[in-house]
Amino acid sequence: MSHQIKGVGKLDTAYDGSNLKIGIVHARWNSTVIDALIKGAVEKLKAFGVKESNIVVSSVPGSYELPFGTKVLAESKEGPFDALISIGVLIKGETMHFEYISESVSHSLMKLQFDINKPVIFGLLTCLTEEQALARAGVVEGSHNHGEDWGAAAVEMAIKHNANQ
């Protein structure tokens, strides 16, 4: 018998997202995967009760632009937001581009949370192949859409770890 140990654990409580405002910033590179991830995140947010009118979606050209785009949305008149989700899909090519961008964007998104004092959910897929990316966005039959996990993480962080309450 095989036991699956990988993956996000069960939620500790039932969260009510009906009073939350969530900002999503996404890159446009690799749009088939991006679109599926956004859909997964938005559907999960709505399943937690977040109103569609309280979900603001904004785009940047590529993943490199995610930290700045997320900061600008977080501090814009569209807010205040309870949490932000940064979504991008990096797929390794022939050069070192992938390594540099993966690392710098990851560090910048982590740091951004402390700069703006808001949770920034890490929705950056760093994939070695297109197949890996598709298999993490629910595009391949039977695969899990990680965007759903990001939506759930945004609601939990906004409610349980809200530094601005």
Binding flag, residue 139, ligand DLZ (CB under 6 A): no
Q: Phi, psi (5° rounding) for residue 5?
A: -105, -15
Cβ closest to ligand DLZ, residue 64 vs residue 81:
64
Cβ closest to ligand DLZ, residue 25 vs residue 158:
25
| Calpha distance 64→48 (Å, rounded) | 30
| Calpha distance 52→68 (Å, rounded) | 24
Beta carbons of 146 and 137 less than 8 angstroms apart: yes
Tokens found for residue 111: 């740091």
Catalytic entry in 97, 144, 146, 161: 97
| Calpha distance 77→87 (Å, rounded) | 21
| Calpha distance 32→34 (Å, rounded) | 6
Cβ closest to ligand DLZ, residue 28 vs residue 144:
28
* Closest CA relative to residue 69, chosen from 86, 53, 91: 86
Within positions 19 to 48, which residues make up the interface with ligand DLZ, using CB under 6 A? 27, 29-30
Bridge-partner residues for 120, per DSSP?
84
Residue 97 annotated as catalytic: yes
Using the contact rule CB under 6 A, the part of the chain among 35-43, 58-66, 76-84, 112-120 near ligand DLZ is 58-66
Rule CB under 6 A: choose which of 62, 116, 139, 144 binds ligand DLZ. Answer: 62
Within positions 65 to 104, which residues make up the interface with ligand DLZ, using CB under 6 A? 65, 88-91, 93, 97, 101
Q: How far is the CB of 34 from ligand DLZ (least distance, A)?
A: 8
Rule CB under 6 A: choose which of 16, 32, 47, 61 binds ligand DLZ. Answer: 61
- Enzyme catalytic residues: 97
